[in-house]
Amino acid sequence: MTSNFKSGFVSIIGRPNVGKSTFLNAVIGKKVAITSPKPQTTRNRILGIKSKENYQMVFVDTPGIHKAQHELGRLLDKTAIASIRGMDIVLFMVDGPRSYAEDQIIKLFKDLDTPVYLVINKIDTLKSKIDIDKIILSYMDQYAFKGVLPISAKNQTHIDRLLDELAPQLPNGYPLFGNDEISDQSDFQIMAELIREKVLYKTQEEVPHAVAVVIEHAEMNGTLYEVHASIIVERNSQKQIIIGKNGQMLKEIGTEARIDINRVLETKIHLNLWVKVKKNWRNKVTDMRSFGYDDKTNL
């Protein structure tokens, strides 16, 4: 390793559904963060580690910043806001012209002594360069961004160009993680998130936001990983939706989650799912902590 090796932390911040987790997966080249069309799919701070010959970038995926409606939402906003402190680079991701939501996030940068890049995602949905330029202009008079990086995380357009731009901005240092590490998540965390992802895709209205997943027990049984997990909801009506008629919905969730877990963890699992009701858990700090949502960012 030469003295020119660079390493550091890169925070990804923005409102919900701008594609932060899709971007992280594209950068790492493997699924390290779940995605869905539902707002605030990401609930925990997730690290994605990109290691190259001359640098190691540790990306920090954060919950989308929004107007919180409950204690869980306030915790997620707190986690996202805290993630910009102590970073080496901040990526402010947007997918359209500036609005009130973006203005509120920009205010967080005012006293920040860290380079902030404006990342315009979903350029594949824009008709022309003129549309991209209009978006850029709507932001440039609000903050002195270090640079502007148009990308399409979905199509992996300009991802390498973005990495080439960021690498020189990192401080000199040693790798923070092993070269073969791509995330800081445990197997249990990955399993729980992949199960929750399937619930998000298969349910509507209030159900996705009220769901948590807890891995109750997991052990190797020969060559098979035996996993017992609970899907937590707030009301009996939500429980019935997830179970579905004759248990069909729960069966589909389990099947799809098992396939994804097998692929991501490169193992074979037998997945047992239960659905449990914990009333109003999103407003109870003790419940949130027991389900893995803590007010400690640990970064």
What is the rounded CA–CA span in Å between residue 218 and residue 188? 8
Record the tokens describing residue 265, joined without a space. Answer: 């963890």
Angle CA 268–189–92, to nearest 5: 125
164 is in an annotated binding site: no
61 in a labelled binding site: yes
CA angle 43, 116, 37 (to 5 degrees): 35
Does residue 155 have a known ligand-binding role? no
Three-state secondary structure call for residue 142: coil
Tell me if 115 is assigned to a ligand binding site.
Answer: no
* 63 marked as part of a ligand binding site: yes
18 is in an annotated binding site: yes
| Cα angle, residue 80 at apex, residues 178 and 25 outer, rounded to 5° | 45
62 annotated as a binding-site residue: yes
The angle subtended at Cα 120 by Cα 116 and Cα 121, nearest 5°, is 125
Tell whether residue 29 is among the known ligand binding residues.
no
Q: Do residues 55 and 167 touch, judged by C-beta distance below 8 A? A: yes
- 65: annotated binding-site residue? yes
17 annotated among ligand-binding-site residues: yes
202 is in an annotated binding site: no
Binding residues for GTP: 14-21, 61-65, 121-124
Binding residues: 14-21, 61-65, 121-124
